[in-house]
Amino acid sequence: MANELKGKVAAVTGAASGIGLATVKAMIASGARVVLVDRDQASLKTICEELGDAAIPLVMDLLDPKDCATLLSQILEKAGQLDIFHANAGSYIGGDLLDADPDAIDRMVSLNVSVVMKNVQNILPHMIERGTGDIIVTSSVAGHFPVHWEPVYASSKWAMTNFVQTVRRQVLKHGIRVASVSPGPVNSALLADWPEENLRKAKESGSIIEPSDVSDAVMYILTRPRNVTIRDMVVLPSNFDM
């Protein structure tokens, strides 16, 4: 995929680890400049030093409404344009609904749903004005299947399935593509919050994929001809029973 994204600017939220970081590396390898959006200032500094000038750090707490509202203006200040937006930041709650902490529910739904909606709303006018753009949301297979051990998380991702499909219809006339990538279990920090027994079984059976497997899917979506939209891509470990 060398230079397929040359001249483009991308922004990735939750960029300091996991799927976000793998996608940043893939985009840079393909010629893009990438704004890495994350609240972890120390990690962003280290990562951007390693990746060079094509990696542009943007320290931001997306759960702070005032901070969140400046997303586009800060991206434009740092990079001048925005061609690709990857809404990747998210969190996880598993287990029985009765055991979930109400504050944790608020935080997760805000990050997984409200923040994505606000981010996309924030960046859309710029893409509409330019008549082109790509928006990708990191969803989950849980957004397509009722995973009974994670009702809060799965519900947030079902919301994203609907969001992607409806917003896509609204903006396709502006030359903007909207897509989601929906992985199964990924070897990332989110798995630390999985029910211990489920995590143990998944690791023992090899039912986990790597962040790079997901970033490969993102790059496939981005590099299709402009007349082709990959609206939903589900990426599963071959041994995953769902």
Give the residue numbers marked as catalytic.
153
For residue 53, give Cα distances in angstroms to 23, 29, 46, 242: 16, 12, 13, 41
Burial 68-104 (b: 16+ CB within 10 A, else e): beebbebbeeebeebbbbbbbbbbbbbbeeeebeeee
SS3 string, 166-199, reads: HHHHHHHHHCEEEEEEEECCECCHHHHHCCHHHH
Q: Is the Cβ–Cβ distance between 234 and 144 less than 8 Å?
A: yes
Rounded to an integer, what is the distance from CA 118 to the centroid of its chain? Answer: 14
